[in-house]
C-alpha cells in the first residue's frame, strides 16, 4: 500500500456559547457543531521524512513547517502507537484545500483529522475510534469533531464531543466567504475585551461572560423537529460581535443575506465567513446567486449538512 486519501468536512457552529477565559488561555464553551459538504482532501504516503505540500484554496496561507496542524496530528499519532510491527515511518502529507484558511470553518482541524485517519490506516495501528478521538483532542479544539462529523454537542474547549440525537434532516446553507482572514485567538481576545468594557458606550454591547455556558434547549428542540425556520431563528454565536468588531464589513454581509430571505444568518465560528440557512436547495441556489450579485463578499458556496466526519476515499 503506497498512499491513503481521506476527506474531511468543514464545520459550522449552530450555537457557540463562550465562558470566561481559563487559566490555560482557552475558554470553556458549549457548542453545537454541524459538519457540511465542503471537504479538504489529504493524502499520506511513506517518505524519507515528514513533510507537507498544500494545494488549492488559500494554500499560500498554510504553514508547511512542523507547526502545520496535519503534521502535528501525524506526530501525535506516532507518539501514541504501540511499538510493534514495522512501526510508524515518516510520511509525505499532501493537502488539497477547498475549505478557506482562517475562515472560521475549522479547515486546519479537518486536515489534522484527515491526516490522523490516513496515518492510522497506513500504519494499521489497530487503535479504536475512541483512542483516535482522544489523540485528536490533544491536537486542536475542533479536531475530534472533524473525525466524528454529523451534528454534535461540544464541551470543554470544544474537544469533548457527543453526537446530537436528531432526525436525518438535511439543511441547506449558503456560505459567504470574506475577502480576508480572522485569527481565532484574536477574536477570542476581542470578546474578552468587549465583555470587560461592559455595555457603556459600546456600539454593539455584549453580555458579560456566563460563569458556565449553557446548551440552548430551544435550538436542540428545533433540530429534533427538523424545521429549518425554527433552526434559523435559534442560531447563535457569542463570537459574532467580536468578529464584526474586527471585520466591520461583515455587518453588511449578514444584513444582505437576511434581506434576501435567509431563515437565519450568523458569523461562522470565529469568522469571517458568514453562514445563511435556506428553506431548501432551490432557495439556497436563489440566495447564493443574489448574494454573489450584491458585492458583500468575495465568493459564495452552497453546502448541506450534516455530513459524516473524516472518511477514507481511496487506498492505493
- Options 84-92, 168-176, 184-192, 216-224: segment touching ligand C5P (CB under 6 A): 184-192
**At closest approach, how far in Å is the CB of 154 from ligand C5P?**
9
Does 244 bind ligand C5P (CB under 6 A)? Our answer is no
Does 157 bind ligand C5P (CB under 6 A)? Our answer is yes
Residue 11 a catalytic site member: yes
Does 254 bind ligand C5P (CB under 6 A)? Our answer is no
Q: CB-based contacts of 24: which residues, under 8 Å, 6+ apart?
A: none
Distances in Å between the Cα of 168 and the Cα atoms of 7, 135, 213, 233, 286 are 21, 29, 27, 20, 24
Does 142 bind ligand C5P (CB under 6 A)? Our answer is yes
Cα angle at 271 between 76 and 165, to 5 degrees? 70
* Catalytic, out of 11, 28, 50, 238: 11
Element (H, E) at 234: helix 228-234
Among 94, 141, 237, 245, binds ligand C5P (CB under 6 A): 141
Does 184 bind ligand C5P (CB under 6 A)? Our answer is yes
Q: Cα–Cα distance between 132 and 77 in angstroms, integer? A: 8
* Catalytic, out of 28, 50, 142, 238: 142
Residue 252 a catalytic site member: no
Q: Cα–Cα distance between 86 and 268 in angstroms, integer? A: 42
Instruction: Give the three cell numbers for residue 229.
Output: 425556520
Q: Cα–Cα distance between 266 and 235 in angstroms, integer? A: 7
Site string for ligand C5P, 4-43 (x = CB under 6 A): ---------------------xxx-x--------------
| Contacts with ligand C5P, residue ranges (CB under 6 A) | 25-27, 29, 140-142, 157-158, 184-185, 188
> Which residues are catalytic, by number?
11, 142
Amino acid at each position: 500500500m503506497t498512499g491513503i486519501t481521506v476527506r474531511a468536512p468543514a464545520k459550522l457552529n449552530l450555537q457557540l456559547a463562550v465562558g470566561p477565559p481559563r487559566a490555560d488561555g482557552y475558554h470553556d464553551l458549549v457548542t453545537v457543531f454541524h459538519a457540511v459538504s465542503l471537504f479538504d482532501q489529504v493524502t499520506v504516503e511513506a517518505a524519507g521524512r515528514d513533510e507537507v505540500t498544500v494545494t488549492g484554496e488559500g494554500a499560500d496561507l498554510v504553514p508547511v513547517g512542523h507547526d502545520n496542524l496535519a503534521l502535528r496530528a501525524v506526530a501525535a499519532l506516532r507518539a501514541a502507537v504501540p511499538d510493534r510491527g514495522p512501526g510508524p515511518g515518516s510520511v509525505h502529507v499532501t493537502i488539497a484545500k477547498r475549505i478557506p484558511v482562517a475562515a472560521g470553518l475549522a479547515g486546519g482541524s479537518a486536515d489534522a483529522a484527515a491526516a490522523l485517519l490516513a496515518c492510522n490506516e497506513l500504519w494499521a495501528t489497530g487503535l479504536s475510534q475512541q483512542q483516535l478521538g482522544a489523540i485528536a483532542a490533544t491536537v486542536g479544539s475542533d479536531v475530534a469533531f472533524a473525525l466524528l462529523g454529523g451534528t454534535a454537542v461540544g464541551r470543554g474547549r470544544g474537544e469533548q464531543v457527543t453526537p446530537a440525537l436528531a432526525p436525518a434532516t438535511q439543511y441547506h446553507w449558503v456560505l459567504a466567504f470574506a475577502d480576508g482572514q480572522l485569527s481565532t485567538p484574536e477574536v477570542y481576545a476581542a470578546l474578552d475585551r468587549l465583555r470587560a468594557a461592559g455595555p457603556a458606550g459600546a456600539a454593539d454591547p455584549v453580555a458579560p461572560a456566563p460563569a458556565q455556558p449553557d446548551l440552548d434547549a430551544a435550538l436542540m428542540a428545533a433540530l429534533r423537529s427538523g424545521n429549518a425556520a425554527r433552526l434559523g431563528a435559534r442560531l447563535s454565536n457569542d463570537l459574532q460581535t467580536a468578529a464584526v468588531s474586527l471585520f466591520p464589513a461583515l455587518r453588511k454581509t449578514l444584513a444582505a443575506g437576511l434581506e434576501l430571505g435567509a431563515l437565519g444568518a450568523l458569523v461562522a465560528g470565529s469568522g469571517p465567513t458568514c453562514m445563511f440557512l435556506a428553506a431548501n436547495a432551490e432557495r439556497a441556489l436563489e440566495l447564493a446567486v443574489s448574494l454573489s450579485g450584491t458585492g458583500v463578499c468575495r465568493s459564495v458556496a452552497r453546502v448541506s449538512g450534516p455530513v459524516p466526519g473524516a472518511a477514507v476515499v481511496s487506498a492505493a
